[in-house]
A and B are shown apart, each in its own frame.
Chain A
């Protein structure tokens, strides 16, 4: 293959995950990045809500994160976990009350990358779930009430991160340069 630039292909549009992904995308252990209760384990959890505040029972949340030392995991095995290797990727379908949860490690870097899919969402949503007390250029650029939507909060179970698809508490969703509008 030569390095001659060719015409840049244009990206494939997204489409909704629809209501019928449950027998395909979830898998055993999908939301257990580390065994619950293992050393350093926390519970990253929350509720996905629509524009009226109603829980969304058919959403899918994915998390991708660094390990506790802040390193990017480069290990396979997210789909068939061995109980020892930290792969950094997890997936969780929301339950009847719109809740999701991950047994995972507190990342050594400021945020979890989060993707959200659902019936009614034509394109996947990308956001960040920041550890309490984080500060960076993105957070600094946001008004306080918008910034709050990106912050996890500590509670009795671990770290809480609710997702509001729409409405007064709408989560800040992200796009990246070059992403199709």
Chain B
């Protein structure tokens, strides 16, 4: 993104063995973008609620983000609706990631729950939520994950559920570990759970990631920091909730997901309840 406030960072030598840039180089780039954003916010009051499409510190975005402005349209026809998912699609047991492989996975058992609501605060009912994540050691069940941490024979790391009539989803899983990646030298993703969410309209389709409170790696992570507004970034972080925590069983986290506004005038009576 053309940004006059962002100074080019001074060249930093790559790591002698990996050839990758040091974290300090990334930190300087991210700090420059943050201060530029803060200055713009001060001057104009225009906050950015979303994630930047173009965020150079996330190196693999370089050739993959659109460079032309997106074209704004009023949604029409099929875009005003979402696919319907039902009991046929999702077995309730798919919401428990700790029972999929015939044994207890290693790690901190946790419950993560929250509500999916639209931009007007209305619950998104009986809609599909999919998650995927690394195991407690930070390893994905994916052939391209080369992180030398152990696979867990009792953990796959994918789950699905349907929201209930209040828009609530709920998963039982294992707290995912951080994992290294090659964005730069000694790059580590903070622990996170990938979420895929449908709304009442296809325009609300969202794929995102949930982070954990107090994780020191989020400040170093170019994917998380691509949400440049601190308040917006905080909406990606779950809250520890002792009321969700279960006695002698699992810790509990709460994370609500707010989709963009719905454009279709509600027609189904239950949507007005």
The proximity string for B residues 134-161 relative to A, scoring 1 for CB distances below 8 Å and 0 otherwise, is 1000001110110000000000111010
CA distance A174 to B53 in the complex (A): 13
Which one, B23-31, B33-41, B101-109, B204-212, is touching chain A?
B204-212
CA distance A118 to B63 in the complex (A): 12
Cβ of B224: which chain A residues have Cβ within 8 Å of it?
15
Classify the secondary structure of A's interface with B.
loop
CA distance A15 to B189 in the complex (A): 13
CA distance A52 to B64 in the complex (A): 9
3 smallest CB-CB distances across A and B, nearest first, come from: A76-B86, A180-B50, A24-B132
Which of A51, A87, A166, A179 touches B203 (beta carbons < 8 Å)? A179
Choose among B50, B156, B233 the residue with the greatest number of A CB atoms under 10 Å from its CB.
B50
Say yes or no: B63 contacts A120, CB within 8 Å: yes
Expressed in whole angstroms, the minimum distance between the Cβ of A110 and any Cβ of chain B is 8
Say yes or no: A14 contacts B51, CB within 8 Å: yes
Say yes or no: A138 contacts B71, CB within 8 Å: yes
A122 touching B226 in the complex, CB below 8 Å, given contacts A19-B144, A170-B68, A172-B71: yes
Which one, B9-17, B76-84, B243-251, is touching chain A?
B76-84
CA distance A62 to B197 in the complex (A): 13
Expressed in whole angstroms, the minimum distance between the Cβ of B59 and any Cβ of chain A is 8
CA distance A170 to B231 in the complex (A): 32
Given contacts A179-B50, A181-B49, 16 further A-B contacts (CB under 8 A): A9-B117, A9-B119, A9-B121, A13-B232, A13-B236, A15-B223, A20-B140, A78-B85, A79-B89, A80-B88, A113-B78, A113-B202, A115-B205, A121-B64, A141-B71, A177-B74
Expressed in whole angstroms, the minimum distance between the Cβ of A137 and any Cβ of chain B is 8
Select from chain A the residue with minimum beta-carbon distance to B94. A79
Cβ of A167: which chain B residues have Cβ within 8 Å of it?
67
Say yes or no: A64 contacts B73, CB within 8 Å: no
Expressed in whole angstroms, the minimum distance between the Cβ of B114 and any Cβ of chain A is 10
Expressed in whole angstroms, the minimum distance between the Cβ of A3 and any Cβ of chain B is 8
Say yes or no: B236 contacts A165, CB within 8 Å: no
Say yes or no: A166 contacts B66, CB within 8 Å: yes
A174 touching B73 in the complex, CB below 8 Å, given contacts A76-B89, A80-B89, A124-B206: yes
Say yes or no: B158 contacts A24, CB within 8 Å: yes
Say yes or no: B49 contacts A79, CB within 8 Å: no
CA distance A74 to B141 in the complex (A): 34
Cβ of A118: which chain B residues have Cβ within 8 Å of it?
64
A77 touching B88 in the complex, CB below 8 Å, given contacts A124-B207, A166-B66: yes
CA distance A181 to B263 in the complex (A): 17
Expressed in whole angstroms, the minimum distance between the Cβ of A54 and any Cβ of chain B is 7
Say yes or no: B58 contacts A122, CB within 8 Å: yes
Expressed in whole angstroms, the minimum distance between the Cβ of B223 and any Cβ of chain A is 6
Name 20 A/B residue pairs within 8 A (Cβ), A-sorted. A9-B121, A15-B194, A15-B209, A15-B227, A20-B134, A50-B64, A64-B82, A66-B77, A74-B84, A79-B88, A113-B78, A120-B61, A122-B52, A126-B205, A165-B65, A174-B72, A176-B74, A176-B263, A177-B74, A177-B263
Cβ of B223: which chain A residues have Cβ within 8 Å of it?
15-16, 18, 122
Cβ of A117: which chain B residues have Cβ within 8 Å of it?
207
Say yes or no: A64 contacts B208, CB within 8 Å: no
CA distance A167 to B207 in the complex (A): 24
Say yes or no: B71 contacts A174, CB within 8 Å: yes
Say yes or no: A13 contacts B49, CB within 8 Å: yes
Select from chain B the residue with minimum beta-carbon distance to A78. B83
Select from chain B the residue with minimum beta-carbon distance to A3. B272
Say yes or no: B90 contacts A79, CB within 8 Å: yes
